[in-house]
């Protein structure tokens, strides 16, 4: 059986350094960490987990609560979190709350029973019920980091994209192209419409952009429902485009919703972007493979996962560390699903 000493010798570091990489207890440079992880893999080193856990009173497991594991965006978040925690010697336990506070409460009980060392959570909705659930984790002195959906009244580290700026940038781009009738489609299951949540912040950014361009914001062009992402995009766009044929652009609050919008446009005989421009949000992998390729507002998923890992492990090592709220910048990615409105479509307005 390979020893930790053999790993240290192969990586040309001390045994203490190997231990730091495995436990995430202190900073190790990326180059050294890479050498150690490569040595562990090459030598097939298996740490004595029970002994290590007993010494440090840890399980080296992390509970990760996400709304829907089959959601394309949160699936990407889960993938990145698995990589970052595994590289630091921790085992993620993934749980899907289905945006249901009752299921979230049951899942939290299970994670507490498993004695997880920390939790990364995207709150379920409504948020006030999720707040109660997360506070139960904190009462057990288990550190928590909240991602994507912020909770202002919760004193823990929180990592979110700048949703408001992302909404502003996407709408500003459409307005600069000449669009004046811009529809908005969102799903309650994807982006909770509560103050401070992604859907609300993105819409606020859109409203600000329209105000800055002197274009009235029409609530009748906003469609929000309880269908899942792609179906919400399809049904919402069918309803919107039939009732408001003057619409020349749709800003979908997720890329998956935008995929449904593309299908609806095809069903109605509208060409994208000649007859209808479509903008999404997230920049999931599918966004660059649909036809036409989707213009979208990208979220830095890898940075979200890396920061969540860093902040949670820092809290585990130092329970007195002050929580941080981090806003990560989004980026407008322009592709082929957007163009200036045609003269014919403008006449319908």
Residue 223's DSSP bridge partners are 185
More confident residue, 18 or 241: 241
**pLDDT score at 54:** 44
The percent of residues in the chain predicted with pLDDT above 90, rounded, is 64
Cα–Cα dist 207/172, whole Å: 10
**pLDDT score at 244:** 96
Using only C-alpha atoms, what is the Rg of the chain?
Answer: 23
Q: How many Cα atoms are found within 13 Å in the side-chain-facing hemisphere of 313?
A: 26
- Please answer whether residues 222 and 325 qualify as being in contact, where contact means their C-beta atoms are separated by less than 8 angstroms: no
Residue 228 CA from chain centroid, whole number? 16
- Token readout for 171 is 């709408």
Q: Residues 174, 214: one domain?
A: yes
CA pseudo-torsion sign 304, 308, 311, 317:
negative
Query: Per-residue pLDDT tens for 202-248?
Result: 999 999 999 999 999 999 999 998 888 899 999 999 999 999 999 99
pLDDT at 25 > cutoff 60 = no
Q: Residues 105, 152: one domain?
A: yes
Name the DSSP letter for residue 286.
G
3-state DSSP assignment of residue 308 = helix
In the predicted model, what is the mean pLDDT of the chain? 89
Q: Residue 80 — pLDDT band, cuts 50, 70, 90? A: very high
CA pseudo-torsion sign 53, 57, 59, 62:
negative
Residue the block writes with tokens 């819409």: 203
Query: Per-residue pLDDT tens for 332-349?
Result: 999 999 999 987 666 655
Counted domains in the chain: 3
**pLDDT score at 55:** 46
Q: Residue 250 — pLDDT band, cuts 50, 70, 90? A: very high
Q: Is 239 exposed, middle or buried (0-12, 13-18, 19+ CB in 10 A)?
A: middle
**Distance (Å) of CA 97 to CA 93, 102, 107, 109:** 13, 8, 7, 13
**pLDDT score at 328:** 97
Q: Is 295 exposed, middle or buried (0-12, 13-18, 19+ CB in 10 A)?
A: buried
Report the run of H or E that residue 118 belongs to, with start and end: strand 118-121
Q: Residues 184, 240: one domain?
A: yes
Cα–Cα dist 234/232, whole Å: 5
Q: Residue 1 — pLDDT band, cuts 50, 70, 90? A: low
**Across residues 145-169, what is the average pLDDT?**
92
Q: Residues 230, 320: one domain?
A: no
3-state DSSP assignment of residue 184 = strand
Q: Residues 283, 315: one domain?
A: no
Q: Residues 281, 190: one domain?
A: yes
**pLDDT score at 130:** 84
* Mean pLDDT comparison of 27-36, 104-113, 299-308, highest-scoring range: 299-308
**pLDDT score at 31:** 84
More confident residue, 18 or 305: 305
**pLDDT score at 190:** 52
Q: Residues 168, 130: one domain?
A: no
pLDDT at 195 > cutoff 60 = no
- Please answer whether residues 11 and 36 qualify as being in contact, where contact means their C-beta atoms are separated by less than 8 angstroms: yes
Strands 295-298 and 331-333: antiparallel
- Please answer whether residues 1 and 45 qualify as being in contact, where contact means their C-beta atoms are separated by less than 8 angstroms: no
Q: Residues 305, 294: one domain?
A: no
pLDDT at 310 > cutoff 50 = yes
Q: Residues 127, 68: one domain?
A: yes
Query: Per-residue pLDDT tens for 99-128?
Result: 888 999 999 999 998 899 999 999 987 777
What's the CATH code of the domain at 214?
A: 3.40.50.2300
Q: Residues 342, 209: one domain?
A: yes
pLDDT at 194 > cutoff 50 = yes
- The whole domain housing 13 covers 4-47
Neighbour-count burial for 266-282, b at 16+ CB within 10 Å, e otherwise: eeeebebbebbbbbbbb
Q: Residues 26, 62: one domain?
A: no
**Across residues 172-179, what is the average pLDDT?**
98
**pLDDT score at 48:** 61
Residue 92's DSSP bridge partners are 62
Q: Is 21 left (phi over 0), alpha (psi -120 to 50) or beta?
A: alpha
Q: Is 99 left (phi over 0), alpha (psi -120 to 50) or beta?
A: left
CB within 8 A of 117, min separation 6: which ones? 58, 59, 60, 61, 62, 90, 142, 143, 316
DSSP letter string over 198-260?
Answer: HHHHHHHHHHHHHHHTT----GGGEEEESS-HHHHHHHHHHHHHHH-TT--EEEESSHHHHHH
What's the CATH code of the domain at 17?
A: 1.10.260.40
Q: Residues 168, 291: one domain?
A: yes
């Amino acid at each position: 059986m390979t020893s930790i000493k053999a790993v240290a010798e192969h990586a040309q570091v001390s045994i203490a350094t190997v231990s730091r990489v495995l436990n995430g207890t202190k900073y190790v440079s990326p180059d050294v960490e890479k050498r150690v992880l490569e040595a562990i893999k090459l030598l097939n080193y298996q740490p004595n987990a029970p002994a290590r856990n007993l010494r440090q009173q840890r399980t080296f497991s992390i509970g990760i609560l996400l709304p829907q594991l089959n959601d394309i965006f949160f699936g990407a978040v889960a993938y990145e979190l698995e990589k970052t925690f595994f590289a630091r010697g921790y085992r993620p336990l993934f749980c899907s709350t289905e945006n249901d506070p009752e299921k979230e409460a049951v899942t939290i009980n299970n994670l507490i029973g498993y004695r997880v060392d920390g939790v990364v959570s995207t709150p379920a909705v409504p948020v006030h019920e999720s707040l109660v659930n997360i506070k139960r984790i904190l009462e057990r002195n288990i550190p928590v980091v909240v991602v994507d959906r912020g909770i202002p009244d919760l004193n823990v580290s929180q990592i979110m994209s700048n949703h408001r700026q992302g909404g502003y940038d996407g709408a500003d781009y459409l307005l600069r192209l000449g669009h004046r009738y811009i529809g908005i489609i969102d799903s309650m299951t994807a982006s909770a419409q509560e103050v401070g949540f992604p859907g609300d912040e993105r819409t606020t950014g859109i409203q600000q952009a329209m105000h800055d361009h002197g274009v009235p914001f029409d609530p009748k062009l906003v469609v929000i429902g309880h269908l899942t992402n792609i179906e919400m995009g399809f049904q919402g766009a069918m309803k919107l485009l039939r009732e408001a044929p003057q619409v020349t652009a749709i800003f979908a609050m997720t890329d998956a919703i935008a995929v449904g919008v593309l299908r609806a446009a095809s069903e109605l005989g509208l060409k994208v972007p000649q007859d209808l421009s479509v903008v999404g949000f997230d920049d999931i992998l599918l966004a660059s493979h649909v036809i036409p390729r989707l213009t979208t507002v990208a979220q830095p998923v890898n940075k979200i996962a890396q920061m969540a890992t860093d902040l949670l492990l820092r809290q585990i090592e130092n329970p007195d560390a002050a929580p941080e709220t981090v806003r990560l910048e989004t980026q407008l990615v322009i592709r082929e699903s957007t163009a200036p409105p045609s003269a014919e479509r403008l006449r319908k307005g």
